[in-house]
Chains A and B, each alone.
Chain A
Amino acid sequence: GAVVSQHPSRVICKSGTSVKIECRSLDFQATTMFWYRQFPKQSLMLMATSNEGSKATYEQGVEKDKFLINHASLTLSTLTVTSAHPEDSSFYICSAPGTSPHTQYFGPGTRLLVL
């Protein structure tokens, strides 16, 4: 089946630094990828849709300059949390649509802790 990987799996950083999270589709191409954020014991909230070769589409309330998304190839999307602060600490999950309609394959997630 389709596999989506994320790197790193967890990261701890100091407040004010930037953190890049990678999302890769390992055995299929994805012109679109999705980025979600999950707070402890809460649901997944869609942050943005990453589009290969064009700008990402952000959900209402998500700061574009804070969460930079780049979809440089058909197998890689990156999320950069710029000038991270403790309130950005969360679990970030990416997904990519599969060949089956309306189905998404999820990465294992990246846990970010900002001190």
Chain B
Amino acid sequence: AQSVTQPDIHITVSEGASLELRCNYSYGATPYLFWYVQSPGQGLQLLLKYFSGDTLVQGIKGFEAEFKRSQSSFNLRKPSVHWSDAAEYFCAVAVNTGTASKLTFGTGTRLQVTL
């Protein structure tokens, strides 16, 4: 069965500093990987996704992620964090069920940004 691990429960960074959120997955086939962000009181918003091709994917809000098959990782990065980036971040892997894909989420990383 597929699984996603986000080792960091909580991360605090200063505004303007760089950010890297870790994600490791376990899945037998080629994974479809996602990063979502959840702000308080709001639904999950897709930041970026990886299906195939270039292993460095660009997303919205200045985020990027790199797929490393050898490390089973899909870490999220941002060069300079803004205070508005404070939120909960979820990494997820999709499993194709035939009719639609089911998502398995990691436990999330809560990002706090200090001014």
A residues apposed to B, CB below 8 Å: 4, 31-32, 34, 41-46, 49, 51, 93, 95, 97, 101-104, 106-109
Contacts and interface: CB of A to CB of B under 8 A. Distances in A.
B12 to A, nearest CB: 16
Contact of A43 (B46, B94, B96, B108): B108
B42 to A, nearest CB: 6
Given A102-B51, A102-B96, A93 B101 contact: no
A106 B43 contact: yes
B100 A49 contact: yes
Nearest to A107: B43
Most central of B32, B90, B96, B103 by chain A CB within 10 Å: B103
Contacts of A104: 101, 103
A93 B90 contact: no
Most central of B36, B51, B99, B102 by chain A CB within 10 Å: B102
